[in-house]
Amino acid sequence: MTAAAPGRLTGIPPEAFATAARRIMARCDELSRVSADDGSITRVYLSPEHARVNRLAAEWMREVGMTTRMDAAGNQLGLLRAAEKDAPVLMLGSHLDTVIDAGRFDGILGVLMAIETVRLLRVPGAELGSWRSPFPFGIEVAAFSDEEGTRFGKALLGSSAVAGQWDESWWDLTDADGITVREAYREFGLDPGRIGEAAHTSEQLVGYLEAHIEQGPELDRRSEPLAVVSSIASARRFQLSVEGEARHAGGTPYDMRRDALLGASEAALAVERICSAEHHIIGTVGQLEAFPGAVNVVPGEAKFSLDLRGEYDEKRDAVWQRISRDLDEIMGRRHLRWRAREVHQAPALFCDPLLQDVMAQGIGSTLPKGSAEPVTLFSPAGHDGMTIGSVTPVGMLFLRNPDGISHHPDEAVSAPDVALGLRAFAEAVAHRGAEPVS
Ligand code: HGY
Ligand code: MN
Ligand code: MN
């Protein structure tokens, strides 16, 4: 294989990336054992599992010379200062929370790659045994606490606080047990009144870089290990309810039925039909429940979720209008009533051109000289950069996930790809370090 294009980190022996990759894989396994459920991975916001992984991440951050703190929103942060004390920081990170029955790498890989990047790039500080950033900016690693929104339905709570975007109405969101965000904060040892302290200003940040597994099959299909991310899909999430009439499953003729579950089922098929005909528009009904839920009762009520994403906010919203019109027709024909409550919305995030460029240069340093331009992919999956992008430029790196399965225990990444990804990510940071700070 011809030598890779020269990077900035020529002083780091290739085996250092392989060693770090092995450490990352082992720690992904270790974190996967911190779960609310035996035999599967579920770790939600402000849970005992959240506290335990924060402690582990903090230990690993200190191990590479960072000072650590948990912020007012439960995010675990590590800081490697620059020589100049009040210098801004380049934030690296991802999230440690998971969906239900999750994989081992979604979010977790990016946090651990950020920590290992600090280990690779740090230089001795002024005091004996201390370390500092070699760049005119510090490096802050963020292990965000709630990217998925699994517990309270609203996603990106942790990074929204860091972006100074906390919405007071979120304190009253409740989990499946009726516990509010406010109560969960207090139980976790956080003071809701101090949430504003988690906010970072644009002046404090140089940018945000995140490495993440691709949560789709593109890289696997192209036999490519890495990609630059061009943009992150916008998101809207709804909880919908359908009202019909509960009746006897045997004695009720079909022409008298107002079956809410059939209305919701037709709605789910309409979502698939409408979205699958569009480019980069994705609609999913992930939850569906019938009430009263007895085998011998025609369902009088049904509740279901809708996760709607699009590359462009406007197009996503136009598709939501079309879906709504179809629901009016379906429910009207079945003599049902429907309503929708929006529980989450985040605009599309277009990655910063400079950070896309340094990420491409980072990947280029892992490719043989004269290779084609690195792959660039749109991310239909959401990420914390969607909120952080409101205060600072964002760049992302995707790593190949064989078959692309994610939000599932079979989610995977290979150690060699992690070593390559770590080289590319660290190179991207070094390339950013060679650019003007602001
Ligand atoms: O749902 C998403 O796209 C992300 O994985 N939270
Ligand atoms: Mn996820
Ligand atoms: Mn994720």
Residue 4 confidence (pLDDT) above 70: no
State whether the Cα torsion 251-254-257-262 is positive or negative.
positive
Residue 300 confidence (pLDDT) above 90: yes
Maximum Cα interatomic distance, the chain, rounded to a whole number of Å: 84
- Return the ligand number nearest the Cα of 211: 3
290-312 in b/e burial notation, b at 16+ Cβ within 10 A?
A: bbeeeeeebbbbbebbbbbbbbb
Q: Which atom of ligand 1 is nearest to the CA of 407?
A: 5
If you measure from the C-alpha of residue 435 to the centroid of ligand 2, how many angstroms do you get, rounded to a whole number?
32
Note whether 44 and 152 are within 8 A (CB).
Answer: no
If you measure from the C-alpha of residue 388 to the centroid of ligand 3, how many angstroms do you get, rounded to a whole number?
14
If you measure from the C-alpha of residue 268 to the centroid of ligand 2, how many angstroms do you get, rounded to a whole number?
22
Q: Just give the CATH number of 234-346.
A: 3.30.70.360
- Return the ligand number nearest the Cα of 156: 1
Query: Which of 147, 160, 236, 408 is the pocket-test mutation for ligand 1 (most atoms within 8 Å of CB)?
Result: 147
Q: Which atom of ligand 1 is nearest to the CA of 155?
A: 6
The string of pLDDT tens digits covering residues 109-168 is 999 999 999 999 999 999 999 999 999 999 999 999 999 999 999 999 999 999 999 999
The string of pLDDT tens digits covering residues 211-241 is 999 999 999 999 999 999 999 999 999 999 9
Residue 1 confidence (pLDDT) above 80: no
Cα separation, 197 vs 253, whole angstroms = 61
Assign 11 a pLDDT band (cuts: 50, 70, 90): confident
Residue 369's pLDDT is: 82
Residues lining ligand 1, judged by CB closer than 6 Å?
147-148, 155, 381-382
The string of pLDDT tens digits covering residues 301-355 is 999 999 999 999 999 999 999 999 999 999 999 999 999 999 999 999 999 999 9
Domain assignments of the chain as residue spans, ordered by start: 14-232+348-433, 234-346
The residue nearest atom 4 of ligand 1, judged by CA position, is 382
Question: How long a stretch of residues is the chain?
Answer: 438
Assign 3 a pLDDT band (cuts: 50, 70, 90): very low
Average pLDDT rounded to a whole number, residues 197-210: 98
Cα separation, 313 vs 236, whole angstroms = 9
Q: Which atom of ligand 1 is nearest to the CA of 309?
A: 3
Residues 6 or more apart whose CB falls under 8 angstroms from that of 167 comprise 160
Assign 378 a pLDDT band (cuts: 50, 70, 90): very high
Cα separation, 264 vs 241, whole angstroms = 8
State whether the Cα torsion 72-73-75-81 is positive or negative.
negative
What amino acid is encoded at 316 in this protein? R
Average pLDDT rounded to a whole number, residues 243-259: 98
Q: Which atom of ligand 1 is nearest to the CA of 381?
A: 3
The string of pLDDT tens digits covering residues 257-296 is 999 999 999 999 999 999 999 999 999 999 999 999 999 9
The residue nearest atom 6 of ligand 1, judged by CA position, is 148
Average pLDDT rounded to a whole number, residues 85-99: 97
Average pLDDT rounded to a whole number, residues 371-375: 90
The string of pLDDT tens digits covering residues 22-47 is 999 999 999 999 999 999 999 999 99
Cα separation, 170 vs 152, whole angstroms = 9
Enter the pTM of the model: 0.92
The string of pLDDT tens digits covering residues 44-57 is 999 999 999 999 99
- Considering only CA atoms, which of 251, 185, 217, 163 is closest in space to residue 47? 185
Residue 5's pLDDT is: 54
What amino acid is encoded at 108 in this protein? I
Note whether 251 and 264 are within 8 A (CB).
Answer: no
Is it true that domain 14-232+348-433 has CATH number 3.40.630.10?
yes
Give Cα separations from 428 to 140, 181, 272, 364, 370 (angstroms). 15, 37, 38, 10, 19
Taking residue 138's Cβ as centre, other Cβ atoms within 10 Å add up to 23
Residue 6 confidence (pLDDT) above 90: no
Cα separation, 24 vs 300, whole angstroms = 50
Residue 2's pLDDT is: 42
Radius of gyration (Cα) for the chain, nearest Å?
23
Average pLDDT rounded to a whole number, residues 412-419: 98
